[in-house]
Amino acid sequence: MAAPRLDLVFLWHMHQPDYRDRASGEFAMPWTYLHALKDYTDMAAHLERHPRVRAVVNFVPVLLDQIEDYIDQFATGNFRDPLLRLLAAPDLERLAAAERRLLLEACFRCHQPTMLAPFPRYQRLFELHELLAREGESALAYLSGAYFADLVTWYHIAWTGETERRREPLLAELMAKGEGYDLADRRALLALIGKTLAGLVPRYRALQERGQIELSATPASHPLAPLLLDFRAARESLPEAPLPLAMRYPGGRERVRRHIDAARESHARRFGGAPHGFWPAEGALSADFAHLLATAGCRWAASGESVLNHSLGEAPAGSAYRPWQLPEAPGLALFFRDDRLSDQIGFEYSKWHGRDAAAHFIAQLEAIAAAAPDETPPVVSIVLDGENAWEYYPYNGYYFFEDLYSLLEEHPTIRTRTYAEVLADAPPAAHLPHLTAGSWVYGTLSTWIGDAAKNHAWDLLCAAKQSYDQVIASGRLAAAEAARAEAQLAVCESSDWFWWFGDYNPAQAVASFDRLYRHNLANLYRCLRLAPPAQLDVPISSGRKDGAAVAAGGTMRRATPS
C-alpha cells in the first residue's frame, strides 16, 4: 500500500509599515532596510540553495515602495535614514548630542543572545556602554568617535543575513578586523548594503520566473479591510466588542477597492503581472471583503485556522487541509493556516537543534497525511512573517532551513507546492456556508479594535477621512496635491498602528508607534491645507500599563522599536 501523500504550502509574508515622514522624506525607524538586509535576503537564498522546494512569497506594496526608496538613497548618496547617514558620516568625533543618543539607543536593538553575544567585540561595546550608563549621562560623554564607528559598523554587521556572511568576503574581513573601523570600512559596508537591497526584488522575480515560487500581494498599505468596510465586523466573533464612536469608516468600500487595485498595479509593474492570490493584512477576512477580492479577479486568499473554526462552529478534524469556496465570492478559493504548525516555526523551533526541529515538523506532516480521510492529499498551509522569527534562531535560522528544505526535497510523499499549483489540479469542492469575520490572531479582530485606545485611534482616523472627503470634493487641491493627500491617507489606514495600541505591548514600542501614527494624521491634514487638530498632540496611549508583547494564539512577532 502506497504511503499517503500531502501537499505543503509555505506562505512567507514580507511586510513593514511605512516608516517614512512623507513631508520630510526622513525615515523614523530602520526596520525596512535591516530586515531586507538580513531576512528577505536569507529567505531568497534558502530557496535558491534548494531549487526543488516551492513556496508562496507575499510582498506588501508599501514594503516594496520603501525598499525602492532605500535603493535610491544608496544610488544618490543622499541618506534620509538617520542610521545610514551616521554610518556614512566622515567624522564621528564631532557628533551632536542627539546623534550620540540615537546611536546608543538604536545600535543595541536586537535579540542579544543570537545577534550580539556571538560577537565578542560587539559584546564588549555593549558591556562598556552598560558600565558607563550606570554612572549617568556625563560618563557616556567619554565615549569617543572610534567607539561610535565600531558600534554603528557592528550593528550593521549583526543585521546582515547569514548567507551573505558566508559568501561575501568583505563581511568576513570586517568581522575578522573586529575594531578600529575607519571611513573606508564603513563606505565598503554601505556599498554592500546598497548592492544587497538593489538585488532583492530581481532575485525573487527570478525565483518566480523559473517556477519555484508564486508571488502574492496584500492590499497596498496593509489596511485592516473588514473594519474599513464595517466596524460591526468585529462583533461577528465577539458580539460584545466595544466599537468606536463613529458609526463606520467613511467611504470604506471605495478605499478597500483602491488598496486592492493599487496592489495589483504595483505587482504587475514589479513582477510582470497581477497576482493570482492575496494574503489579506493580518489574514483578516469577512464575507464582504472576500466578495471584493473575487470581484477584482483574485483566485485565492488565505486566513487563520481559527477563522474557519468560528465559521463552521465545530470544525471537523482536518477541515483546514483543503480549499473552501464561499457563496458571496465565486471563483475565490479560501485556504486556512495550520496555526499550531505555523506557530511552532514562529515561536518554538528556535529553541531546538535545527535537525531535530526539521525532523519533528516532518513527522507531524506525516501524521496528518496518515489521518486524512480520503485519497485526496491534504493541503497544509504554513503561514508566517518572513522576517521576525529568525533573529531568535541561531544563525538567523540558516541550519533550520538547511535541514528542513533538504528533508522536504528528498521526501517521497510530501510535496511543497504553491496555491496556484494546488488550484490547477482541482478547484475547491468544499463549500463554506458562512464566513465569520476574523484574523489570524485568535480568529477575531480584537487586536485592532475594541479597547479605548484602539477605538480612539479609529475615531481620529474617521475624522481625518471626513476632512479629506470634504477637501477633495471641494476641488481646491491641484491634482498633484490630491495625489499626495491620498498617498498619506493610505499610510494612515495601515493596520499596524492599531496593532500596537494595548497594554500587552512594551511601553516604549507603543509610544513610538503612537507618535508616528499621530504624526501621519497631522501630515494628512497638512496635505489638505488644514491645521492639524490639537488632539493629535495628545498621546492616544496615555495612562496605559506596561506589559510584554503578546506571543500566543497565532500572532506574529513584530520588529519592536524599543
For 546, phi then psi, to 5°, come to -80, 160
Query: pLDDT per residue over 102-128, tens digit each?
Result: 999 999 999 999 999 999 999 999 999
Question: Is residue 80 situated within a structural domain?
Answer: yes
pLDDT the model gives residue 504: 81
- On the question of pLDDT at 548 being above 60, the answer is no
Asked, for residue 71, whether it belongs to a domain, the answer is yes
pLDDT of res. 1: 55
Average pLDDT of the chain, as a whole number: 94
CA-wise closest residue to 456 among 543, 367, 548, 391: 543
Would you say residue 392 lies in a domain? no
Range of the domain at 95: 31-38+67-200
Among 544, 478, 477, 485, which residue's Cα sits nearest to residue 513? 544
Other residues' Cβ atoms within 10 Å of the Cβ of residue 372? 17
- pLDDT at position 561, please? 34
User: Mean of the pLDDT values across residues 509-520?
Assistant: 95
Tell me phi and psi for residue 247, to 5 degrees.
-70, -35
pLDDT digits (tens, 9 = 90+) for 136-154: 999 999 999 999 999 999 9
Q: Summarize the confidence of residues 61-77 as an average pLDDT.
A: 98
Q: What is the mean pLDDT of residues 370-384?
A: 92
Q: Are strands 333-337 and 324-325 parallel, antiparallel or unpaired?
A: antiparallel
- What are the tens digits of pLDDT across the range 263-291? 999 999 999 999 999 999 999 999 999 99
Number of domains in the chain: 1
Residue 84 in any domain: the answer is yes
Burial class, 211, CB count within 10 angstroms (exposed 0-12 / middle 13-18 / buried 19+): exposed
Question: Above 50 in pLDDT, residue 551?
Answer: no
550 band by pLDDT with thresholds 50, 70 and 90: very low
In a domain, 122, yes or no: yes
Report pLDDT for 374: 75
Per the domain annotation, does 110 fall within a domain? yes
In a domain, 508, yes or no: no
Q: State the pLDDT confidence band at 316, using cuts at 50, 70 and 90.
A: confident
Indicate whether 398 belongs to any domain: no
Q: How confident is the model at residue 546 (pLDDT cuts 50, 70, 90)?
A: very low
pLDDT greater than 60 at residue 545:
no
